[in-house]
Each structure stands twice: as structure tokens, then as C-alpha cells.
Amino acid sequence: MSDSSTLPPARLHPEAELARDALSTPLLSRAVRLARWAGPATRVDAGGGLVEEQVPAAAEALGLSGEDAAADAAEAWRAAVDAGLVEVTDEEEGTVAAGADLGTVTGGGSPHEVLEVWLAALETVLADASVPDLGGLVDAIAAEDGSGELDLSSLDWDPEADAEFLDGVLGNLYLLTVGDDAAEAAPVPLPALAASVIVPDDMGEPTDDVLEQVSEAMMRLDDQFRMLEPAGLVEYQPVDEALMADADEEPAAPVDDTEVSRYGMVRLTPLGVYGLRARLLEAGFDAPAVGDLADKGADALLDGTAVFPPAAAHAETEQWLTRREPLAAAREL
């Protein structure tokens, strides 16, 4: 996706509605709860993360349990710090206090300001989603002869490439969503989404090697979308566990390969459309929204909507007309 091309217009929900959605996401609601939970005894490490011995208490404060409780609590804390809900007051002592944006999301901010806080928290999750299995990281560090330095080549991990891969997938999902003329975009099968960033456009029949890459990408995306769903970015139906059964284990029940939904289905939420559009704009893309032409002249309206999908063109024209008297609008057109 070239940053010089104009994308189809997004039909955004009202900011007040999106802000309510953002506040109800597990990502932001947990971050707010931890910001309120933090007190004089709370301590963070050099990177701003909760010290290890306080993570269980944070998980308990969030009502989390199970094997993922500590990881989820640690992520919620990082989101709180990155979003400005908590600030480190003394780096040497590791003390913290409520951040300036805590009041923003607890009643003192506008919907747009709340969404800005959510976007900051979202970046934390997107960064985490690009990191490979932490177990592999620990093993790699342990193998570095006690040097304390991690050789990324030993992990076969390129952080920039992984981040670009996820950005590319989300960019394609955004295109499929805003380019869909239906009122609500249909869920996208995970295999098709993975193939969209791996299979070359000019390749007729994918080779076995390419198909293997698509399969590996699907498994990676399955993990990533599971992480992104609590952020409110996507609605996700995970890959059926039966499809991932280890060949050395008890065989899984037969699965009908024609049931595409069992291979994972993903759809951007209205909040996700807002979030990805904001990221695209920041990255320099021309990512319009329906309503951008409402205060422009008739020439701009006609030129702009000429390349819009029909439903978006209708919505844009409708907004343009509502801002004008019927006779004046007719004369201008």
C-alpha cells in the first residue's frame, strides 16, 4: 500500500460513541483501574514496568486469575504508563503518581481526548503483538553465555520486519473494511488476510513454499489478533484448536476444510476503523473520512465522490446537502 495513494473514505461513528467504546475495552478499563490502584508503595523498574513482586497484587486488583493473569496485568500497567494515566515521579526510587490523563478518562475530558488516550494505549498492545514468544526470548538470553546481551539473529527475529508485517496486515484489513459497500463489513477469513501480504499479485498458483509461509503467518496472526481483540481493535474468531492439533498427539476429530470460519475470521470494529485511520494519517497516508467534503464546494464534492464506493458517495453527498438550503445546493450543483 503506497502512502501516496488515496484510500477509500472511512464511515466513522460519532466520537462520543467511539469514546464510550474505548472506555469499555478491557485494555483501557484495566489501565484506568491500575492507575487508581497505584499508590505510594507502588514501585516500577527502570523501564517503567511494575516490579515483579507487585505484579500479582496488580492482577488481583484487576480480578485476573489463571496462567495469563500476570502477563495481562503487566500489559495493562504498561498501557497505563504509555497512555499517561500513570507517571513515574522518581526514576531512581521507582515511585509513581496519577498521570495527567487519568482525569481525562474519568470524566474530565472530551470524547476526542479520551480517544487520544486510547490510541496511546493501543500502541503498547501493537508493540507487544509484534514480539515473538517470550519463552524463546528467555531461552535465547540464557544461551548468551551470561553476557546479558541478546543476539537477535539467534531468534531469527527482525523487530522492524515483524512490525511492518503486522502493519501491512492491518492496512489490508482497513482497505477491505472501508472499501466494503455494506453497512457493516463482512469478517475476513484469516487465510485470505495472510495471503494478501505474502502471495505476490502476479503469482497465478501459489507454490508449496508460499503456502507454507501463509500457514505460518496464519498462526502468527492468530496469536496477534487474540492480543488485539481486548484493545477493541477487532472482533476475532480464533483458529479452531482442532486444526492445530499436534500430529504426535491424539488425532483431532475430522474437520471439513470447506468451513473457512474454522481457520479464523477477523473484522475491524468501528473503534478499530477509527484507530487504524488515525495511524495511517500519522504515517502520511491520505485516509479520508465521510464528511470531509461537507464544507467544500460542489466541484470538490463531485470530484471526490467520483471515486468513492456508492454507499460512501451517497453518505458524503447527504452530509453535504444537510449543510445547505435546498435551493442554494441545487444552484451550486
Return d(Cα 271, Cα 18) in angstroms, integer: 6
Per-residue pLDDT tens digits for 224-262? 999 999 999 999 999 888 776 654 444 444 445 457 778
pLDDT of residue 119: 96
Rounded to a whole number of angstroms, the distance between the first and last alpha carbons of the chain is: 34
Tell me the CA distances in angstroms from 173 to 98, 101, 123, 204, 299, one per residue in order. Answer: 36, 30, 17, 22, 31
- Tell me 253's DSSP state: P
Per-residue pLDDT tens digits for 282-316? 999 989 888 888 888 888 888 878 878 788 888 88
Q: What is the DSSP string of 72-99?
A: HHHHHHHHHHHTTSEEEEETTTTEEEE-
Return d(Cα 31, Cα 77) in angstroms, integer: 6
Return d(Cα 273, Cα 117) in angstroms, integer: 16
Task: Pinpoint the alpha helices (H) of 25-150.
Answer: 26-37, 55-61, 69-82, 102-103, 111-129, 134-142
Q: Which of 2-11, 127-136, 209-218 has the highest mean pLDDT?
A: 209-218
pLDDT of residue 250: 42
Beta-carbon-side half-sphere exposure of residue 145 (alpha carbons within 13 Å):
2
Per-residue pLDDT tens digits for 144-183? 555 555 555 555 666 788 888 899 999 999 998 887 666 6
Task: At 130, list the grid cell.
Answer: 509484534
Predicted confidence band of residue 42 (pLDDT cuts 50, 70, 90)? very high
